Amino acid sequence: MPRIAFALAALLLANGADAAGPRPAAKPTAIPAVILPPSASLQDLAVVEAARRGLGKTAGAVVAMDPWTGRVITIVNPTYGLLNAYQPCSVFKIVVGIAGLTEGVITTETTYRCQKGCWSWPGHGPIDLRRALGVSCNPYFEWIGEQLGYAKVEHYAKLLGLGEPSGINLTGETRGRLPASVSAAAVGHLSSHAAGITTSAVQLAVLLSATINGGVVWQPQVAAAQDFVPKQRWRLPETTRLDALADGFLAAVNEGSALTAFDPEVVVAGKTGSCSRLGWFASYGPAPRPEIVLVVFVRRGNGHQAAEIAGRIYQELYKPQPSAPIATAAGAR
């Protein structure tokens, strides 16, 4: 059983706080460093400890969620993961990819010639959606966003839960920000870098969960697994295209921007984000049947560092442990 060094009493559940009527004013409750469910199972505690150790002393946050129910298993450093919002950087390319596919701007076979001006200065050359997600190609998603226009980009961002509180049963959640309007000249940069947009790690966990669970946008809840009742906020329209993203998420880890999370024995998939000295990795594993969504945020870093942290967490949770040698009787040959 993992060693647990924090108390369940630190959990900041919003519901039920005034059930007994008004109470005398009290000193503000200190924000716990780690949030976990009441009556946490051994499996929950293993996730909590792996997340805590994986992040270590890095300024940032880890959110772990069940993508099939919206149950939040842990938030490490809720100040960074829930209470404050930050530019999601290239993780926002997930929204633009879904919008482009659904609106018919691209197909999985559509290619765009990435030339000078990408983070890879010579450019990536002809590139399709899978590889563009894998290497986080900026011009590819700028091109899609410019064809869509901001109104459609904003529409899909809202469909995926951005710009509003998720409704999690904890106090103090940020709503993040979506611009009310964006000039045509700025749509491309927004589509590749999320310029002017802010989100929380919890919101991104909900967003990524919706892309892999068939389109359900959950109301996340910190709660025990036993007798858990999921709360669905809404379901994405049936016409929403989600089927072409998984290959790109796998490519990011196997050969692209999230290579620092790669391990041959643990199949992980996800999308990195790096901008403005911020680092993100929104991920899930084990693929192709995910058990957990992990969103790692690094306050002063980049997506490669966030992916490396997530890789450590997945390896602790899922990597097969070497078998202990079988003891033999003294003198046996």
Q: Which of 13-17, 86-90, 173-177, 305-309 has the lowest mean pLDDT?
A: 13-17
pTM across the whole model: 0.89
Q: Which fold has domain 31-318?
A: Beta-lactamase (3.40.710)
What is the rounded average pLDDT of the residues 232-259? 96
Q: What is the pLDDT of residue 323?
A: 65
User: Has residue 63 got a pLDDT over 50?
Assistant: yes
Share of the chain above pLDDT 70, in %: 88
Task: Give the integer Cα–Cα distance in Å for 269 and 181.
Answer: 32
Domains of the chain, by residue range, sit at 31-318
Q: Which amino acid is at 73?
A: I
User: What average pLDDT does range 283-307 have in this prediction?
Assistant: 96
**What pLDDT, on a 0 to 100 scale, did the predictor assign at position 57?**
96
Location of structure tokens 């000193």: 27
pLDDT bucket at 60, cuts 50 / 70 / 90: very high
Sign of CA dihedral 72, 78, 84, 87: negative
**Interval 158-175: pLDDT, tens:** 999 999 999 999 999 999
Alpha carbon distance 45, 243 (integer Å): 32
The residue with tokens 């919101």 is 203
Three-class SS state of 96: helix
Helix or strand run (H / E) with residue 204: helix 201-212
Quote the tokens at residue 240: 């929403």
In the predicted structure, residue 26 carries a pLDDT above the cut 70: no
